[in-house]
A and B are shown apart, each in its own frame.
Chain A
């Protein structure tokens, strides 16, 4: 069988002397807990071409399921009884998660000419292979077997035997839960509950009816593009994408087809390279986890385990794949996968260990990618895209918030007034200020303070925006919006997070002004004559801003509210931000903050960085990341390089002054570096 071959070749690498004999037994890795068969590249076979998205039953409208389309029995789909997975939820009438993608999308594939114009059409779904689930499942290691191999030490000492064992064992089917047709009404295509505190189910259904048409049209466009490059367009066999181009960027920005997402992220983030360079890392980490599980003092030795445990059931409690109903005796497979990925990561990168918010990152990845790939994507997210953000001292977060604040100051002056009250309005309110012990003392925060003190004394709104970065907007925005952002994040880089943040803040400008005019917060104050003051009261403004920034994004149901109104608009100046600018800005903020953070603080935060039992794993982190050529903006590292900074020519200009954003030559505002250079040239001439 193809699959066996693939596994043999995998083990062949292990045992063929290319890799030194592993200390820990390489284990076969549980495969995708959720999404239809995203196959291991190394073992791709024809069966993988099954196309769940195209195969699923068709129905007109998610709210109107007819019996014929909502009942798709998948006898092979259920996990083995040993697993006790809640496959029987909803009785016999089950929809797989694949079906959840539903809503007869592909049957209405769309237009060629115009990108987004609605179309009726006649795309015929490819109906080749019945069910993808057997394929993924092959790769799944049942918990039972997991335990068997643990108790059986002879297995542990012999790879090949072990591998054979795997084949003898009954292989469980996909850990995905089946979703009853009843649930399909309440949950979206990824298993998230449609209704939230801010969005009703009805609102969701109305919007989705439109949006899924949009998704169809986009997918059709994608198919055409892929065909141009002779690339596969079958959902499950997509490995490669066209070379980067403006056109592809536009396509990505308009949304990658949901069924391709996992593979597209993997491709654009260049995850395969990392996996190819470290084929045995994840299996070894899993073996190590097995080993740790047997230790009596594991909790004191590995404090992250306990913290991870606490967060498992607090990750997407409203998602059907993560949900644990009270009547369930065993936990969902998804939770088991999540545990493995997070624990493996905490062992792999001890500098980070486990940081709350990574549960959401890993959780979302697991909905789209298999476990091992999710693990590597988490590695990439925390090193390449969000360097230092999840480190023990969270300095990376503070740096990114400093960068964001600089951007707000530069691009969103109206919001900036709320974030850091301007000098002018402060002087008008001296008396008031004397009476107040403002949270953000205005004396420290001149609007155009060249020293940018707000960079190390971050304004309170950053307590909210920090979570945007830590979880990459998971849980901050409705899921479809978040996914569109992730599409761009992996294609364009981390600067996109800043763009989107600015976009959200810009959208909330309207909300802020609304609040101001309607005096909606008058009840904050005692009596009428304080209302006037309230409007100029920095602290009240701060709270108002915080509340809006905290809740407003959750109401943005339609991704195109951000993309079409903000991201695609060329006249919006912050759309000129590029990765280079953000990297430069991050560097600047890092340096500014270092000037003001007492050294003792650094030491303190570093001292409890590692509960490191395995220096190997740490070394492997840096070497692997390094070898892959990522210029990880490692905060810790840059601290030690403090002295080298002075020689950094590129930055010398901005170090002494405020940060200068790149601007076009025709712009009235020149950046400070340019100004200096012009002055120099002039003085030479003189």
Chain B
């Protein structure tokens, strides 16, 4: 089994906890209590490795850190994203500001996390608010193309989802898992452990990205 640390970042009330709740418990509450501090959850997904000599199923366990979104909690953030393998940066497609906040999170991650293999996934949440009928289209405040272009330019994974309906949620984590697995495999082959090729993936602890942020933790 592979184990990865994933952190959720984004403005308050964009739906970070709801996304986690959908992924981990497959449920949704219209009104969730605001997250204070952080919450930790875990969930596994299964991916297929078809490239290997023998096709195999691999279980990937996510350690998920869900964080409080308000600006002032930002000072605690380094404690979450230190050693993270993946970051889910969430915005609300009905709130233009929230994409700006997402951009600043991406920037912060790129500046503070000294690890090229960090997978950043940009997620636009709440498509249920606009996709049901055309009248609601004006609720959309962030065009898909705008976010998509930004994601491409910055080498981020991207999709639009709905925690409420569940649309696209599973795929987000699935795709993160696959990406991380490919990265891990690449690192694995460059490592000395040639004997392990074709076998089960190496222990997750072998490769943990680090940060170059000397003041990380909370300052």
Q: Which residues of A contact B (CB under 8 A)?
A: 307, 310-311, 313-317, 324, 326, 355-357, 359-360, 391-394, 398, 432, 435-439, 456-458, 460, 462-464, 466-467, 470-471, 475, 523-526, 530, 539, 543, 546-547, 550, 597-598, 601, 605
User: In the complex, what residues of B have CB within 8 A of residue A324's CB?
Assistant: 31
Other A-B pairs beyond A307-B70, A470-B36, A475-B36, 8, CB < 8 Å: A307-B12, A357-B34, A393-B72, A464-B40, A467-B37, A530-B203, A539-B205, A601-B215
Q: Which residues of B, 29-68, contact A by the 8 Å Cβ criterion?
A: 29-40, 61, 63, 68
Complex CA distance for A311 and B79, rounded to whole angstroms: 24
Evaluate contact between B33 and A475: CB separation under 8 angstroms: yes
Evaluate contact between B205 and A393: CB separation under 8 angstroms: no
Interface residues of B, dominant DSSP: loop
Complex CA distance for A661 and B207, rounded to whole angstroms: 41
Q: Considering the complex, give the chain B residue whose CB is closest to the CB of A530.
A: B203
Q: Considering the complex, give the chain B residue whose CB is closest to the CB of A314.
A: B34
Among A392, A436, A439, A547, chain B packs the most CB atoms within 10 A around the CB of: A439
Evaluate contact between B203 and A359: CB separation under 8 angstroms: no
Does B218 sit within 8 A of A, measured CB to CB?
yes
User: In the complex, what residues of A have CB within 8 A of residue B205's CB?
Assistant: 432, 435-436, 539
Evaluate contact between A460 and B34: CB separation under 8 angstroms: no
Q: Which residues of B contact A (CB under 8 A)?
A: 1, 3, 12-13, 29-40, 61, 63, 68-70, 72-73, 75-76, 79-80, 82-83, 200, 203, 205-206, 208-210, 215, 217-219
Evaluate contact between A466 and B34: CB separation under 8 angstroms: no
Evaluate contact between A597 and B36: CB separation under 8 angstroms: no
Evaluate contact between B29 and A464: CB separation under 8 angstroms: no
Q: Considering the complex, give the chain B residue whose CB is closest to the CB of A390.
A: B72
Evaluate contact between A317 and B38: CB separation under 8 angstroms: no
Known: A435-B205, A601-B219. A464 touches B37 (CB 8 A): yes
Evaluate contact between B209 and A550: CB separation under 8 angstroms: no
Q: Considering the complex, give the chain A residue whose CB is closest to the CB of B40.
A: A546
A-B contact pairs, 8 of them (CB 8 A): A307-B70, A317-B29, A393-B75, A439-B82, A466-B76, A470-B36, A523-B1, A539-B205
Q: Considering the complex, give the chain B residue whose CB is closest to the CB of A324.
A: B31
Complex CA distance for A462 and B79, rounded to whole angstroms: 10
Evaluate contact between A392 and B72: CB separation under 8 angstroms: yes
Evaluate contact between B219 and A315: CB separation under 8 angstroms: no
User: In the complex, what residues of B have CB within 8 A of residue A360's CB?
Assistant: 33, 36
User: In the complex, what residues of A have CB within 8 A of residue B36's CB?
Assistant: 356-357, 360, 466-467, 470-471, 475
Evaluate contact between A463 and B29: CB separation under 8 angstroms: no
B92–chain A nearest beta-carbon distance, Å: 10
Evaluate contact between B73 and A394: CB separation under 8 angstroms: yes
Known: A398-B218, A526-B1, A550-B40. A316 touches B72 (CB 8 A): no
Evaluate contact between A315 and B217: CB separation under 8 angstroms: no
A606–chain B nearest beta-carbon distance, Å: 12
